[in-house]
């Protein structure tokens, strides 16, 4: 078992983030010492924490992360990831269209300014 400070270093999640994740039932410690209130995590917690790190990186919301973690079989994880991926692809397309629109605007603006 790992104390919070050790677990934080292992996962890259801050102590505050781990505390928050425990508070919202996203990643509970496996054991809390009643004498000193130290929280402990295990190898299973480590795997869930690594998944959470990736989900955060993939721009998952807390609610989306809860959906993934609450599905203990992770049966729907692939579908959830594919849906999130498609959303990102759509965002990239929208941003590329916006960039093109801006380029057209600048080009039109420059031509208009040269005509003066």
The total number of structural domains that make up the chain = 2
In this structure, are 58 and 82 located in the same domain? no
In this structure, are 93 and 63 located in the same domain? no
pLDDT at 48: 92
* Helices 43-57, 62-70: crossing angle, 10 deg rounding: 140
In this structure, are 54 and 1 located in the same domain? yes
For residue range 10-40, what is the model confidence (pLDDT) as tens digits?
Answer: 999 999 999 999 999 999 999 998 999 899 9
In this structure, are 104 and 66 located in the same domain? no
Q: Could you tell me the pTM of the whole model?
A: 0.75
In this structure, are 25 and 6 located in the same domain? yes
Range of the domain at 78: 72-110
pLDDT at 109: 73
Check if the beta carbon of residue 71 is closer than 8 Å to that of residue 77. yes
Whole-number Å distance between alpha carbons of 38 and 55: 27
In this structure, are 63 and 13 located in the same domain? yes
pLDDT at 89: 96
Q: What is the mean pLDDT of the chain?
A: 90
- Counting as low any pLDDT under 70, the low residues of the chain are 110-116
In this structure, are 78 and 53 located in the same domain? no
pLDDT at 114: 59
User: Is 115 contained in some domain?
Assistant: no
Q: Please provide the distance, in angstroms rounded to a whole number, between the alpha carbons at the two ends of the chain.
A: 74
In this structure, are 47 and 7 located in the same domain? yes
Whole-number Å distance between alpha carbons of 19 and 67: 19
In this structure, are 37 and 63 located in the same domain? yes
């Amino acid at each position: 078992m790992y104390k919070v400070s050790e677990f934080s270093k292992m996962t890259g999640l801050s102590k505050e983030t781990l505390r928050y994740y425990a508070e919202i039932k996203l990643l509970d410690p496996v054991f809390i010492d009643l004498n000193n209130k130290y929280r402990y995590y295990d190898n299973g917690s480590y795997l869930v924490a690594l998944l959470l790190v990736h989900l955060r990186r993939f721009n998952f919301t807390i609610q989306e992360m809860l959906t993934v973690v609450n599905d203990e079989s992770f049966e729907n994880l692939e579908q959830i990831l594919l849906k999130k991926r498609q959303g990102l692809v759509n965002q990239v397309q929208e941003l590329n269209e916006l960039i093109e629109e801006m380029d057209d605007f600048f080009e039109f603006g420059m031509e208009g300014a040269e005509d003066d």
